[in-house]
C-alpha cells in the first residue's frame, strides 16, 4: 500500500451537511470555520478601530463632544469622553484589537482556511475541536460586550491588566471581571486551535509535502501555533489567579499597606503576563511574515530567496521570543544582572530579523514584479514592519528605555509591528485568497485606493505616535496637555488624529468593495488560478469542494517554482504546481537543461 493511499484512507470523504445549523453554525468544515472567524474578526476590527478614533478625538480636541459616536455611546455626558470612560475606551480598544480582531483574522481565518488546503489535507486533524475553538471565541465576544455594561463600571485597567489596578482595589466593576474572563475563555479557544494546527501540520501533510516544501505561510502559522500552545496557558494561569483575586479575596497580586503584610506580589503578574506577552507579538507577526514571504515570490515570479534561511530565521525568532520578555519590565526595579541579560538577548533578535528582510529584498531583486493589490499590501507590510522592528532597538536597550519606557514611543513601536504590519498583511492575504474562498475577485481599483489610504495614513498615525513619545508624552493620558512640557504637542497630536480619521475613511472603501463583490458580483468566468501560482490550493476549484481534494495530491517540489527555464520550455509558462508532473520534453525539441 502506498503512502498516498494510506493518507487517503485516513481522511475519508464525508458528505456536506445540508441543515442550516450544521452547515453554517456548528460546522466542522475548516473553510466554513475560517469564514466564521473572518466575519467576527472584521466586525471587531471595525469596533476596535472606532474606539481608536475616540482616543484620537480626545487628544485632538480634549473635552469636546465626540461627533456622531458621542450622541450614541456617551449620552450621559453629552457626548464628552470623561476620564473613566477614556480608560474603558483604550482598555477595550487594546484587548479587542489583539485578542478579538487580529488573532481571529490572522490565525483563525488564515490558519483554518489555508493549513489543510496548502498541505493537501481534507480537513483539520480534529474538526470538532476546531468548531469548539470558534465557539469559545464567540463566547468570549459575548463576555467582552457584556463587560461594557458591567455593574460598577466596565474594564479600565489597560490591555496589560496590571494588578493591583486590575483587582477590586483599582477597578471594582464587574466589567473588569468579565473582561479578564473573556481573555481566559478566548485563550482556551486559542489553545484548542493551536493543538489542532500543530497536529494537522505534523500528521496530515500530503505525501511528498516535506517540512521544507511547505509554503512560508504554513511555516508562519505552524510556529505561531506552537507559541500559542506553549504560552497562552501562562496567560491563562495569570488571568485565572487574577480572577481569584477579584472574586474570592485571594491576594496573589496585591501588596502594600492596603493588604497588611505579608501579601502577594504585583510584579509576579507582570512576569506571567510578559512570558506570554512577548511571544504574543510574534504570534501576531509570524503568519504575516509567512504570507508576505510567499507573496514576494509569487509576484516577483521568482523563487523565494534562500527559503531554508527564511524558515531558519523564523524559527530562531520563535525560540528567542521566549527568552526576551524582561525588556517590558526594565523599570520595575528588576535586578541589574537580569536587565543586562534581557538586553543582550533582545538585541540578538535583530540578527534573524535582518536575515528575513535581506531574503525578502533579494527575492524582489531581479524579479519580474507584478504590483497587484496583494503584492502592494505585502510591500507595505515590509515597509511598516521595518519601522516597527527598528524602533524596537531603542526599547530593547536599558539606557534609552529609561527615558522612552511607557511613552507613546512604545505605543508607536508596537503599533507599527502588531497593528500596521499585521493589519496590512491581513489585507494582503485577504485580497490574495478571497478568490479561493468565494470564487470571485475583489475589485482591483478599489483595492488600490484602499491600499494607498491604508498604508500612507497608518504610517502617519503611528509615526505621529513615535514623535509624540520621543518628545516625552506618556501613554494613556486622558489629557496630555496637563503637563507643561507636553503642551507643545497639541498640534502634532491633532494632525496625527486627522491622519487616523482618514485611515478609517479608507477602510470604508474596503467595506464597499467587500460587500459589493460578495453579494452583487456573479461568481463566473474567474480562472481557476488567477494569480498563476504553484501552491496546492490553486490546483483545485474555487471555492474548493467540501472535501478539498478528490484525490490527495503527491507533492514533488517546493512552493516557489518560478522562472524555471525547463518549465518555460515544456509548459510555456513561468510556474509549475507543487504536485504537477513535469512533462517529458517534446519530441524533437532540443534538450537544454537537465530536470
Partner 1 sequence: MDFLGLPHDASVNGYRIDHLINETSFFVILFFVVTAALMLYACLRHGERHQASYDHGDTWKSFRWTLAVAAAIFLVVDGPLLVESLTDLREVFFNFAYAESQPQAVRIEINAHQWIWTARYAGPDGKFNTADDIVTTNDVVIPQGAPVIIQITSTDVIHSFNLPNMRMKIDAVPGIVNRMWFEAKETGQFDIACAQHCGSNHYKMKGTLTVLPRADYNRWLGEASANSSRGFDPDDAEAHWGWDWAAYSRI
**Which residues between 144 and 203 bind partner 1 (CB under 8 A)?**
156-158, 162-165, 169-170
**Site size for partner 1 (CB under 8 A):** 107
Asked if 247 touches partner 1 (CB under 8 A), the answer is: no
- Per CB under 8 A, which of residues 304..333 are in contact with partner 1? 304-309, 331-333
- Beta carbon of residue 372, minimum distance to partner 1 (angstroms, whole number): 11
Residues 407/469, Cβ–Cβ less than 8 Å: yes
- Beta carbon of residue 17, minimum distance to partner 1 (angstroms, whole number): 44
Asked if 386 touches partner 1 (CB under 8 A), the answer is: yes
Among residues 80, 449, 554, 563, the one that binds partner 1 under rule CB under 8 A: 563
Asked if 362 touches partner 1 (CB under 8 A), the answer is: yes
- Beta carbon of residue 218, minimum distance to partner 1 (angstroms, whole number): 18
Q: CA-to-CA distance for 358 and 386, rounded, in angstroms?
A: 11
Q: CA-to-CA distance for 204 and 194, rounded, in angstroms?
A: 15
- Beta carbon of residue 355, minimum distance to partner 1 (angstroms, whole number): 5
Asked if 393 touches partner 1 (CB under 8 A), the answer is: yes
Asked if 573 touches partner 1 (CB under 8 A), the answer is: no
Nearer to partner 1, 7 or 359 (CB): 359
Count of residues making up the chain: 595
The alpha carbon dihedral of 128, 133, 134, 138 has a sign of positive
Asked if 54 touches partner 1 (CB under 8 A), the answer is: no
Q: CA-to-CA distance for 355 and 367, rounded, in angstroms?
A: 19
Backbone torsions φ then ψ of 27, nearest 5 degrees = -85, 140
Among residues 287, 303, 374, 553, the one that binds partner 1 under rule CB under 8 A: 303
Q: Can you point out the beta strands (E) in 125-232?
A: none
Among residues 128, 211, 403, 512, the one that binds partner 1 under rule CB under 8 A: 403
Find where cell 485565572 sits: 240
CB within 8 Å of 222: residues ≥ 6 apart: 197, 198, 201, 214
CA separation (Å) from 565 to 303, 315, 366, 574, 595? Answer: 12, 32, 15, 8, 10
My answer on whether omega of the bond before 262 falls inside 30° of 0, hence cis, is yes
Q: Give the range of 215-223, 303-311, 411-419, 454-462 binding partner 1 by CB under 8 A.
A: 303-311
- Beta carbon of residue 284, minimum distance to partner 1 (angstroms, whole number): 22
- Per CB under 8 A, which of residues 465..484 are in contact with partner 1? 467-468, 470-472, 474-480, 482-484
- Per CB under 8 A, which of residues 85..144 are in contact with partner 1? 86-87
Asked if 400 touches partner 1 (CB under 8 A), the answer is: yes
- Beta carbon of residue 306, minimum distance to partner 1 (angstroms, whole number): 4
Nearer to partner 1, 137 or 159 (CB): 159
Residues 561/141, Cβ–Cβ less than 8 Å: no
Find where cell 495614513 sits: 457
Query: According to DSSP H, which parts of 204-306 are helical?
Result: 216-247, 266-283, 286-300
Nearer to partner 1, 32 or 334 (CB): 334
Asked if 592 touches partner 1 (CB under 8 A), the answer is: no
Torsion of CA 401, 404, 406, 410, to 10 degrees: -100
- Beta carbon of residue 293, minimum distance to partner 1 (angstroms, whole number): 13
CB within 8 Å of 113: residues ≥ 6 apart: 30, 31, 34, 35, 433, 436, 437
Asked if 569 touches partner 1 (CB under 8 A), the answer is: no
- Beta carbon of residue 269, minimum distance to partner 1 (angstroms, whole number): 10
Among residues 22, 574, 582, 585, the one that binds partner 1 under rule CB under 8 A: 574
CB within 8 Å of 52: residues ≥ 6 apart: 93, 97, 500
Amino acid at each position: 500500500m502506498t503512502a498516498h493511499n494510506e493518507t487517503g484512507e485516513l481522511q475519508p470523504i464525508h458528505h456536506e451537511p445540508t441543515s442550516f445549523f450544521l452547515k453554517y453554525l456548528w460546522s466542522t468544515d475548516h473553510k466554513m470555520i475560517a469564514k466564521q472567524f473572518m466575519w467576527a474578526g472584521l466586525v471587531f476590527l471595525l469596533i476596535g478601530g472606532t474606539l481608536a478614533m475616540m482616543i484620537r478625538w480626545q487628544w485632538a480636541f480634549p473635552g469636546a463632544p465626540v461627533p456622531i459616536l458621542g450622541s450614541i455611546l456617551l449620552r450621559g455626558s453629552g457626548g464628552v469622553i470623561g476620564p473613566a470612560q477614556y480608560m474603558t475606551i483604550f482598555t477595550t480598544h487594546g484587548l479587542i484589537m489583539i485578542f478579538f480582531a487580529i488573532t481571529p483574522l490572522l490565525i483563525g481565518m488564515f490558519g483554518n482556511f489555508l493549513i489543510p488546503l496548502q498541505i493537501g489535507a481534507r480537513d483539520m486533524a480534529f474538526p470538532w475541536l476546531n468548531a469548539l475553538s470558534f465557539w469559545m471565541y464567540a463566547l468570549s465576544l459575548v463576555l467582552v460586550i457584556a463587560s461594557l455594561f458591567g455593574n460598577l463600571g466596565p474594564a479600565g485597567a489597560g490591555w496589560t491588566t496590571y494588578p493591583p489596578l486590575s483587582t477590586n482595589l483599582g477597578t471594582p466593576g464587574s466589567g473588569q471581571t468579565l473582561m479578564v474572563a473573556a481573555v481566559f475563555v478566548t485563550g482556551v479557544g486559542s489553545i484548542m486551535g493551536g493543538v489542532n494546527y500543530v497536529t494537522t501540520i505534523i500528521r496530515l501533510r500530503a505525501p511528498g509535502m516535506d517540512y521544507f516544501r511547505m509554503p512560508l505561510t504554513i511555516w508562519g502559522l505552524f510556529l505561531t501555533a506552537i507559541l500559542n500552545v506553549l504560552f497562552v496557558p501562562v496567560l491563562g494561569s495569570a488571568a485565572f489567579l487574577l480572577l481569584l483575586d477579584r472574586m474570592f479575596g485571594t491576594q496573589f497580586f496585591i501588596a502594600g499597606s492596603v493588604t497588611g503584610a505579608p501579601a502577594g506580589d504585583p510584579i509576579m503578574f507582570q512576569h506571567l503576563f510578559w512570558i506570554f506577552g512577548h511571544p504574543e507579538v510574534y504570534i501576531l507577526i509570524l503568519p504575516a511574515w509567512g504570507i508576505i514571504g510567499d507573496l514576494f515570490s509569487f509576484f516577483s515570479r521568482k523563487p523565494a530567496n534562500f527559503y531554508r534561511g527564511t524558515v531558519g530565521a523564523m524559527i530562531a525568532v520563535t525560540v528567542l521570543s521566549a527568552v526576551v520578555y524582561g525588556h517590558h519590565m526594565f523599570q520595575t526595579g528588576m535586578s541589574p544582572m537580569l536587565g543586562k541579560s534581557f538586553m543582550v538577548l533582545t538585541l540578538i533578535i535583530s540578527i534573524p530579523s535582518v536575515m528575513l528582510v535581506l531574503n525578502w529584498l533579494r527575492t524582489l531583486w531581479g524579479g519580474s514584479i507584478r504590483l497587484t493589490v496583494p503584492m502592494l499590501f505585502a510591500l507595505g507590510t515590509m515597509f511598516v514592519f521595518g519601522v516597527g522592528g527598528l524602533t524596537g532597538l531603542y526599547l530593547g536597550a536599558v539606557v534609552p528605555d529609561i527615558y522612552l519606557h511607557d511613552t507613546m514611543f512604545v505605543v508607536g513601536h508596537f503599533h507599527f509591528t502588531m497593528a500596521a504590519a499585521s493589519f496590512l498583511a491581513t489585507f494582503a492575504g485577504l485580497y490574495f485568497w478571497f478568490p479561493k474562498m468565494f470564487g470571485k475577485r475583489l475589485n482591483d481599483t478599489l483595492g488600490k485606493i484602499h491600499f494607498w489610504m491604508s498604508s500612507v495614513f497608518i504610517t502617519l498615525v503611528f509615526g505621529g505616535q513615535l514623535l509624540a513619545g520621543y518628545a516625552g508624552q506618556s501613554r494613556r493620558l486622558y489629557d496630555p496637555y496637563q503637563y507643561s512640557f507636553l503642551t507643545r504637542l497639541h498640534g502634532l497630536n491633532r494632525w496625527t488624529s486627522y491622519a487616523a480619521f482618514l485611515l478609517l475613511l479608507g477602510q470604508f472603501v474596503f467595506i464597499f468593495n467587500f460587500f459589493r463583490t460578495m453579494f452583487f458580483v456573479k461568481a463566473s468566468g474567474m480562472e481557476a488560478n488567477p494569480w498563476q501560482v504553484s501552491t496546492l490550493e490553486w490546483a483545485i476549484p474555487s471555492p474548493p469542494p467540501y472535501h478539498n481534494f478528490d484525490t490527495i495530491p503527491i507533492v514533488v517540489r517546493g512552493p516557489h517554482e518560478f522562472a524555471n527555464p525547463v518549465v518555460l520550455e515544456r509548459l510555456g509558462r513561468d510556474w509549475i504546481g507543487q504536485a504537477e508532473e513535469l512533462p517529458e520534453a517534446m519530441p524533437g525539441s532540443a534538450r537544454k537543461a537537465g530536470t
